């Protein structure tokens, strides 16, 4: 999968998850989806750029460490754009990133 394909998949999955969560939390769907895309626009290229070097050094621990950093960074986007609550922002980020990660894993398993 190319970086552009992976980024498009990330946008689609994370925006869809954020939009679905918006209804459950009484938040604006467009703002939640926008927060997902805005956060991923910053974090995805950075993660892509450092992943292989980090994996070479840290092995299997590279993925959870980098995903935790991504979740923390994207929580800021959700808090700034979608919700005034930090706990909601963190939950949106965790769930959107988990769905995105599993989506990628599924695609790799099927190809």
Of 73, 110, 28, 84, nearest to 96 by C-alpha is 73
Number of structural domains in the chain: 1
pLDDT at position 109: 93
pLDDT at position 68: 97
d(CA 47, CA 62): 11
Range of the domain at 17: 3-110
d(CA 99, CA 12): 11
Does the predicted model carry a pTM greater than 0.85? yes
pLDDT digits (tens, 9 = 90+) for 1-13: 888 999 999 999 9
Is 84 in contact with 78 (CB distance < 8 Å)? no
């Amino acid at each position: 999968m190319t970086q552009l394909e992976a980024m498009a998949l990330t946008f689609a999955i994370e925006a869809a998850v954020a939009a679905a969560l918006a209804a459950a939390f009484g938040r604006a769907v467009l703002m939640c989806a926008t927060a997902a895309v805005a956060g991923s626009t910053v974090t995805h290229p950075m993660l892509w750029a450092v992943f292989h070097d980090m994996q070479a050094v840290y092995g299997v621990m590279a993925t959870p460490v980098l995903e935790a950093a991504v979740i923390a960074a994207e929580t800021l986007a959700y808090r700034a754009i979608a919700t005034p609550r930090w706990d909601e922002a963190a939950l949106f980020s965790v769930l959107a990133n988990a769905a995105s990660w599993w989506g990628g894993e599924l695609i790799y398993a099927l190809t």
